[in-house]
Amino acid sequence: MSMFCYQCEQTAQGKGCTVRGVCGKSSDVAAIQDTLVYALKGLAVVAQAAEPKGLVSSDIYRFAQEALFATLTNVNFDPEALAGYVHEAVAYRKALQAGLEKLGVSLPEKVVTFEPADTVEELVAQGADLGINQQASSDPDIKALQHTILFGLKGIVAYASHAAPLGFVDPAVDAYEMEALADLARWDQGDLNDWLGKTMRCGEMNLKTMELLDKANTETFGHPVPTPVPLGHKAGKAILVTGHDLLDLEELLKQTEGKGITIYTHGEMLPAHGYPRLKAHPHLYGNFGTAWQNQKKELPDFPGAVLFTTNCIQEPQPTYFDNVFTTAAVGWPGTTHVERKDFSEVIERALALPGFAEDAQGKEVLVGFGRDAILSNAAKIVELVKAGKIKHFFLVGGCDGAKPGRDYYTRFVEQVPEDCVVLTLACGKYRFYDKDLGTIDGIPRLLDVGQCNDAYSAVQVAVALSEAFGVGVNDLPLSLILSWYEQKAVAILLSLLYLGLKDIRLGPSFPAFLSPTVGKYLVDNFAIKPISTPEEDLTAILG
């Protein structure tokens, strides 16, 4: 095999991509990403020794977060950009080693002696020996836990990478990221129980990271408020913003003020319309398109520039290739990469393109039901539950994808009884986001909590309701019906397990990186279940 990658749900045949990634990742890109992860492990081992000596600066943590973020599914497909991350990681490592040597400290581990090749081709060759299976235990169960931690850690750095530019960092999160990478560098140490404990710690630290990001977003942009978002468009020049980063959207809104350009959201940016500071910009208008996997058929119809801020990029098609711009960790060979503080090239391209010829009316969808908005109605919700008007809550959400079987989530929501409420978040909601489920005494039956980045908000809603009813979260009339695709979903799942949540239904399939023994452990101890059919699952839940 020329590569091996199974970090996402759509991995080939449910086992692993060995020639080319289903995501579009080439074997060369996969090899350089493996090399980058290895280089970051070496940096982490040295950083752990250097941090007590006061040698580790904050820019090292910020770099490590962005570099590891670049290895997530659908983030960076550019070999040159990834090679740059490899060399920068080693440069940071060597600088720390030089400082330690002056203090008489040296580290014997092989991972801290890695010398990257100069060219992309040579880095690809190096990566052949640095794949995740070579850098993990030969015990299949320990290896499964190590890979679970690696993928969960990738989710953590994604969340931390959104919080840091807003000025919100946590030394404990920074330290953990280095701790986890160093643990993975020492993959031949520890038994199954040790690695199980490290896996739960990953869930604990992801919860802390999501709390940090929630604080960053709400203190910067305000708590989301219920907001109708049009799905049509206005005549005139246009820019489409996709990904997850709210700061990038705000910067673009500022830089396009008075230029006659309408800004539209796409994918996970839809919830941005609910934030008071963002919605204050009148040229932030509506949402175009749906989830990430549909961009190849939707973006050819968008007559403006497209900015990719975070993960979820697919190979841009010739009809819109020149309109695509990437920023931060995102990259695709041949597209224009811009710095978030200067979107002038994006704006120039939008002004050169025709834009929409005329207005088009579309239906509206409601966003903005973060924890603040929901919990402001907590007393009424509790009253409706006690009166029997609300029988059950379903959290139906997570990542969307192209794999057959994901229509399960559409059919599930369509069959949820009228005395039940559906909470949703992340791009999985595009399976049913525009359905009118009506209300229960003024409470909408479909509540959009936000992005996958807002999972902490959903957790806080569950905790608050459990306190209001005086029961544990697992005793609430609440069921989690989750879809997953990439590594942020892995991190969220680990946090839910850390919190002790049980009876989660997960689909469309179980992660390929879980060994049978580890999978059985999750089923036996947390009652995680694979989705079956909407009819069977609803009957089992509601009795």
In a domain, 258, yes or no: yes
Residues 436 and 534 in one domain: yes
Domain annotation covers residue 360: no
**Is 305:350 a contact under the CB 8 Å cutoff?**
yes
Q: Of 319, 352, 385, which one is at a domain's C-terminal end?
A: 352
The domain that holds 424 is classified in CATH as: 3.40.50.2030
Position 171 in a domain: no
> Do 423 and 321 lie in a common domain?
no
299 and 239 inside one domain: yes
pLDDT in tens, 163-190: 999 999 999 999 999 999 999 999 999 9
Cβ neighbours of residue 104 under 8 Å, at least 6 residues apart? none
- Whether residue 495 contacts residue 471, with contact meaning beta carbons closer than 8 Å, is answered with no
Q: Do 345 and 391 share a domain, yes or no? A: no
Distance CA(487)–CA(64), nearest Å, equals 17
Q: Are residues 32 and 98 in the same domain?
A: yes
Range of the domain at 78: 1-135
User: Does any domain span residue 264?
Assistant: yes
Specify whether 536 is located in the same domain as 387.
Answer: yes
Residues 419 and 331 placed together within one structural domain of the fold: no
Number of domains in the chain: 3
Give how far the C-alpha of residue 247 lies from the chain's centroid of Cα atoms, to the nearest Å: 16
Cα 105 to Cα 91: distance, rounded to the nearest angstrom: 18
CA atoms of 357 and 123, how far apart (whole Å): 48
Judge whether 12 lies within some domain: yes
Residue 390 confidence (pLDDT) above 80: yes
As a whole number of angstroms, the distance between CA 252 and CA 309 comes to: 11
pLDDT, mean of residues 486-508:
97
Asked if the structure places residue 115 within a domain, the reply is yes
Q: Which CATH number characterizes residue 3's domain?
A: 1.20.1270.20
Distances (CA, A) of 24 to 36, 76, 78, 197, 485: 19, 11, 11, 34, 15
Q: Are residues 348 and 373 in the same domain?
A: no
Average pLDDT, the chain: 97
pLDDT in tens, 255-264: 999 999 999 9
State the Cα–Cα distance between residues 245 and 30, nearest whole angstrom. 25
The answer to whether residues 376 and 495 belong to one domain is yes
Phi, psi of 166 (to 5 degrees): -85, 0
Please give the pLDDT value at position 404. 84
Q: What's the pLDDT tens digit per position in 23-70?
A: 999 999 999 999 999 999 999 999 999 999 999 999 999 999 999 999
Parallel/antiparallel/unpaired status of strands 364-367 and 227-230: antiparallel
Tell me which of 103, 135, 167 is where a domain ends: 135
Q: Are 427 and 401 in contact (CB under 8 A)?
A: no
CA dist 73 and 292 (Å) reads 12
pLDDT, tens digit, 9 for 90 and up, residues 99-125 = 999 999 999 999 999 999 999 999 999
- What backbone torsions phi and psi does residue 309 show, to the nearest 5 degrees? -100, -30
Whether residue 406 is contained in a domain is answered as: yes
208: in domain: no
CA–CA distance, 71 with 83 (Å, rounded to integer): 12
- 377 & 343 share domain: no
Fill in the DSSP letter of residue 356: B
pLDDT category at 497 given cuts 50, 70, 90 is: very high
Contact 322, 278 (CB under 8 A): no
Q: How far is residue 240's CA from residue 468's CA, in Å, rounded to a whole number?
A: 41
For the record, the structure tokens of 120 come out as 């992309």
Banded model confidence at residue 419, pLDDT cuts 50, 70, 90: very high
Let me know whether 252 and 385 are in one domain. Answer: no
Please, which pLDDT band fits residue 543 given cuts at 50, 70 and 90? confident
DSSP 3-state of 146 = helix
d(CA 378, CA 386): 12
Does residue 485 sit in helix, strand or coil? coil
* Strands 364-367 and 336-338, sheet pairing: unpaired
Both 388 and 333 in a single domain? Answer: no
Residue-wise pLDDT for 422-463, tens only, equals 999 999 999 999 999 999 999 999 999 999 999 999 999 999
Instruction: Among 109, 135, 161, give the residue marking a domain's end.
Output: 135
364-387 average pLDDT score: 96
Which residues have C-beta within 8 Å of that of residue 241, sequence separation ≥ 6?
A: 248, 249, 252, 263, 264, 265, 266, 269, 306, 307, 309
CA pseudo-torsion sign 455, 456, 461, 466: positive
- Residue 130 is classified by DSSP as S
Taking 90 as the threshold, does the pLDDT of residue 1 lie above it?
no
Q: How confident is the model at residue 519 (pLDDT cuts 50, 70, 90)?
A: very high
